């Protein structure tokens, strides 16, 4: 039976249980300044309950493909590293939303490029946007130059 903690500070194991974040990951995030803790008289880590929201936010944003550096930059923008308010979360959400929109655009462009690549079949590379933008490989000759063993490095000498 787990003992209920009555004060505002959670031990690291309880924080892990509440968030689903492994203890080792919590320590990792703490070492990188994403979350903070205090120590009790015995030297054990104690975390404010607000860290539950921070860790949950970190997990969600990481799952969307953002780096810890991106996440930290946004969280460090909060005044006095306070517990984020509803308005703070809304602002952070909008900022990350812009990055998500940018990535969607990049993926749509990649999809379009891939479709043209499949269409070209890499037989001439004259219209391949992925490997031969602006037909730069033409200086090496006709035919599928990369398939024949030429590389991007060969373009520098041409």
For the segment 4-25, what is each residue's pLDDT rounded down to a tens digit? 444 678 999 999 999 999 999 9
- Please choose, from the candidates 91, 90, 10, 87, the residue with its C-alpha nearest in 3D space to the C-alpha of residue 55: 10
Region 47-66 average pLDDT? 89
Region 114-125 average pLDDT? 57
- pLDDT for res 1: 45
Domain topology for 9-103: Multidrug-efflux Transporter Regulator; Chain: A; Domain 2 (1.10.1660)
Q: Give the lowest-confidence range in 85-99, 101-115, 119-133.
A: 119-133
pLDDT band of residue 135 (cuts 50, 70, 90) is confident
- pLDDT for res 11: 94
Contact 68, 62 (CB under 8 A): yes
Measured CA to CA, the distance from residue 48 to residue 36 in angstroms comes to 8
- Please choose, from the candidates 111, 60, 49, the residue with its C-alpha nearest in 3D space to the C-alpha of residue 89: 60
For the segment 63-105, what is each residue's pLDDT rounded down to a tens digit? 988 899 988 888 888 776 677 788 888 888 888 889 899 989 9
Contact 144, 122 (CB under 8 A): yes
């Amino acid at each position: 039976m787990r003992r209920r903690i009555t004060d505002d500070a959670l031990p690291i194991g309880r924080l892990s249980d509440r968030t689903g974040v492994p203890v080792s990951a919590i320590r990792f995030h703490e070492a990188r300044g994403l979350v903070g803790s205090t120590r009790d008289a015995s030297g054990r880590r104690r975390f404010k309950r607000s860290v539950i929201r921070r860790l949950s936010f970190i997990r969600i944003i990481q799952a969307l493909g953002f780096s810890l550096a991106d996440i930290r930059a946004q969280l460090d923008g909060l005044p006095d590293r306070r517990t984020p308010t509803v308005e703070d979360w809304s602002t952070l959400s909008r900022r990350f939303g812009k990055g998500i929109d940018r990535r969607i655009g990049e993926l749509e462009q990649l999809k379009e490029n891939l479709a043209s690549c499949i269409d070209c079949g890499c037989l001439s590379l004259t219209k391949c946007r992925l490997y031969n933008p602006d037909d730069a490989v033409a200086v090496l000759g006709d035919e599928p130059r990369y398939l024949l063993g030429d590389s991007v490095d060969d373009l520098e000498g041409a």
